[in-house]
Amino acid sequence: MAAANRTYDIVVWGASGYTGRLTAEYLLERYGVGGEIRWAIGGRNRAKLEAVRKKIAVEAGVDASALPIVLGDSNDPASLRELAEQTRVVCTTVGPYAKFGSGLVAACAKAGSDYCDLAGEVHWMRAMLDAHQQAAVASGARIVHCAGFDCIPSDLGVYFVQRAMRERCGVPAKRVKLRVVGFSGAASGGTIASMETMIEATLRDPEVRRAMADPYALNPAGQRGPDRGDRITPEWDPDFEQWTAPFIMASLNGKVVRRSNALLDHAYGEDFRYDEATLTGSGPIGAAKAAAIAAGLGGLLAGMAIRPLRRAVVRRLPQPGHGPTREQRNNGFFDLRLFAAHPTEPEKNLRARIRGDRDPGYGSTSKMLGESAVCLAKDALDVGGGFFTPASAMGDALLARLPVNAGVTFELEDG
């Protein structure tokens, strides 16, 4: 069936899970049922999905009784084919993706259905890209991984500041730095399960370790650049005049930003450099904080490599289906800064700020993922089929949507 004639614009797949339910709640609150977006919730358990439909109706204060339910199972390829053929976009939170996600990517690539997810498993995304890029190009399916806090603020933030640099100066910034000022939030059981899956794959498979360590692991073959491995030590940052510590998501975000540059025909330049870190302050306390965070992260990674210790820690953390409370989500936030260096004239350097009005991992992520799905379904995007990043598939359109609908803002500091 041609993508234009499908029953639904969007199916939220995994709506019985923690983040899927929040994404469905966001779409219900923002777009209702039977309005401009024809959407449905999906998963493997009808009773759970009916309970979700009731719950989100109460939370959003909107009647959801007419919201359709689509059933299927990640282990049943025929049901995934049927799912993909019914909708223009599949928006999936069924994770860990490396465990449950491969069949759905294959089905969407074949059926010409657009797809967005919250994957963070680099080795799995690389495998999907290598296996299904040709099918997606042939069918017109636009496959977009990482459409949540990882990696939209980083990826679209760089796109935003590079667009501003080009408009003002006619050239791209030669280097962009993202710095975390602060955030408040906690992790869900699904995120913890995905991290555990990734740690296990990294310990088991040298190819996965190689992909994790390679800053260009997601780039098209042979397209590399000047960035080296991710930072693990505290450093003084002269552009922010503060000490900085490693940021836990820097490795994934950086790979996605570099892939965007490659897919945008090196709009940021072939020698473009990018890195992320956490700001910790300027004096001796800032230096001590940076050293403590760096040591803490190193210790955490080393500890998680020990199986009995990892199992003991994971057992004490939230289990699949659970995550931060509504109050934690609503009181959460994130606050990030960008520094973009003009290639030759430092007085033309740019600074920008990215903020989110909910906790990054779930309150904000569910809105970013929901808007990505709507953007794929409704906006005129200038790309055909294939595997994209958020910025390379939806750049300007998503930058227009997020501040208005999703509480995520991108601002130049000099206005």
Ligand X SMILES: NC(=O)c1ccc[n+]([C@@H]2O[C@H](COP(=O)([O-])OP(=O)(O)OC[C@H]3O[C@@H](n4cnc5c(N)ncnc54)[C@H](OP(=O)(O)O)[C@@H]3O)[C@@H](O)[C@H]2O)c1
Q: Binding residues for ligand X, per CB under 6 A?
A: 14, 16-20, 43-45, 48, 73-75, 93-97, 100, 118, 120, 148-150, 188-191, 194, 320-321, 323, 361-362, 365
Smallest gap from residue 400 Cβ to ligand X (A): 21
Please return the burial class of 277, using the count of CB atoms within 10 Å of its CB with bins 0-12, 13-18 and 19+: buried
Q: Which is nearer to ligand X, 151 or 350 (CB)?
A: 151
- Whether the Cβ atoms of residue 25 and residue 59 lie closer than 8 Å to each other: yes
Beta strands 114-117 and 350-356, pairing class: unpaired
Q: Which is nearer to ligand X, 48 or 163 (CB)?
A: 48
Q: What is the DSSP string of 334-358?
A: EEEEEEEE-SS-GGG-EEEEEEESS
Smallest gap from residue 284 Cβ to ligand X (A): 34
Q: Which is nearer to ligand X, 149 or 243 (CB)?
A: 149
Smallest gap from residue 360 Cβ to ligand X (A): 7
Q: Which residue(s) pair with 117 in the sheet?
A: 92
Smallest gap from residue 75 Cβ to ligand X (A): 5
Q: Which is nearer to ligand X, 74 or 242 (CB)?
A: 74
Smallest gap from residue 9 Cβ to ligand X (A): 20
Q: Which is nearer to ligand X, 20 or 246 (CB)?
A: 20
Q: Which is nearer to ligand X, 79 or 392 (CB)?
A: 79
DSSP state, residue 363: I
Q: Which is nearer to ligand X, 114 or 155 (CB)?
A: 155
Geometric angle at alpha carbon 333, from 394 and 14, rounded to 5°: 55
Give the CA distances from residue 219 to residues 12, 148, 224, 285, 369, in Å, rounded to whole numbers and listed in that order. Answer: 28, 20, 7, 39, 23
Smallest gap from residue 76 Cβ to ligand X (A): 8
Smallest gap from residue 338 Cβ to ligand X (A): 19
Residue among 257, 265, 4 at smallest CA distance from 114: 4
Instruction: Write the CB contacts of 222 (distance below 8 Å, at least 6 apart in sequence).
Output: none
Q: Which is nearer to ligand X, 202 or 280 (CB)?
A: 202
Q: Which is nearer to ligand X, 21 or 273 (CB)?
A: 21
Q: Which is nearer to ligand X, 252 or 340 (CB)?
A: 252
Beta strands 114-117 and 235-237, pairing class: unpaired
Q: Where are the alpha helices (DSSP H) in 264-380?
A: 284-304, 307-316, 326-331, 365-378
Residue among 18, 22, 64, 20 at smallest CA distance from 42: 20
Smallest gap from residue 28 Cβ to ligand X (A): 17
Instruction: Please tell me the distance from the alpha carbon of residue 162 to that of residue 391, in angstroms, as a whole number.
Output: 11
Smallest gap from residue 147 Cβ to ligand X (A): 8
Q: Which helix (H) or strand (E) holds 237?
A: strand 235-237
Number of helices and strands in the chain (H, E): 15, 14
Mark 73-88 as b/e (b = at least 16 C-beta within 10 Å).
Answer: bbeeeebbbebbbbbb
Smallest gap from residue 358 Cβ to ligand X (A): 12
